[in-house]
Structure 1
């Protein structure tokens, strides 16, 4: 998502997140509020294609997990509870397998998989701040999608569920498989547009 304004004049909480006007979208990380600007068309195409891959897979009979597309709020149990929570994020794609984490306001607790598609304004937030947030709160799997270089970085927790393993990288020529859904294979040629040949 794009970001075009930051509020850090005080510590913001989940209560602020709930009370901002509906036509304004904000995320709160470490009590700092980041206003979300409209994403680019290509960003939305990639998000839509990835969402469809997961939605089609999860619509198969017997699947209990659900996938959500932004705007869909996520807060975490490990942070201070209820309206004192200084974290409220809206990942591009969120996969949740524990139905008790799903509320009318979004997800309270750790999703099983989160996908963020980079925008120039938010790349450092997604790569550094959100990675740390998701790791500390036990998000099993985190994908960072780079539309410019057509690469997906896949991170997932170690056996102790305490830290992300070293990133694995997948390019447009690869197939990526979610750790949590080993039977789902996504050909990245179907996700990233064909690049125009130079010459």
Structure 2
């Protein structure tokens, strides 16, 4: 009880404490962007590499253009995605992530604070500082929450993995690279030419 009172008053939360909620998250005044995964805080890199921002921005643009006039909407970080388990109350939500890109087709999940519930498509562009978070912690919460498709873009090797949710478990595509055409099974008709996508960075 005493620990709960102390943590609710913190503007700079104790990173070692592992039971924070979205209600706590809303009170923090931190310079760094953070994410909350199963109650534990993960700091995001303050300034990703230029290639990260370039790839993220270009893929977001491609998705936006493709989805124009359709019911799905695409968002780019910073954008809070709350992933509730048993309750949508702020003090019962223990995971709040900021995917690089997300596409939401159930517009009822959107509110003025972001998205509550699993997006249909999530894209993460890896950075050296966040690989562990994306590869393990985020993979788990995306799968458990029911994200239908998860794209993992790896700039250093110019590769892409697509995880599709099948029977509540992610199934990985083969590792795709330049010369391949990536296709979404969730955003019907969306394709990404990886040679053009990666090759445009100078």
Q: Do Structure 1 and Structure 2 share a fold, with TM-score over 0.5?
A: yes
Q: Which runs of structure 1 show a deviation greater than 4 angstroms over 4 or more consecutive aligned residues? A: none
- Secondary structure at 1:191 match in 2: helix
- Secondary structure at 1:55 match in 2: helix
Q: Does 1:8 align with 2:16?
A: yes
CA displacement at 1:190 relative to structure 2: 2.4
CA displacement at 1:79 relative to structure 2: 4.8
After superposition, the C-alpha distances for 1:141-177 in whole angstroms (9 at most, x for unaligned) are 001110000111100111x3x1111343210221111
Is 1:157–1:165's contact at 8 Å kept on the other side of the alignment? yes
Is 1:155–1:168's contact at 8 Å kept on the other side of the alignment? no
- Secondary structure at 2:108 match in 1: helix
Q: Does 1:39 align with 2:48?
A: yes
After superposition, the C-alpha distances for 1:94-141 in whole angstroms (9 at most, x for unaligned) are 000000000111000110000000011110110111111111111000
Map 1:53-72 onto structure 2 (within 5 A).
Answer: 53-59=62-68, 61=69, 63-72=70-79
Match of 2:61 among 52, 57, 61: 52
CA RMSD of aligned residues (A): 1.9
Aligned-partner Cα distance in 2 for 1:82–1:46: 35
Structure 1 gap segments, 5+ residues each:
1-5
What TM-score, normalized to structure 2?
0.86
Aligned-partner Cα distance in 2 for 1:177–1:153: 11
Match of 1:149 among 157, 171, 176: 157
Alignment match, 1:92: 100
What TM-score, normalized to structure 1?
0.87
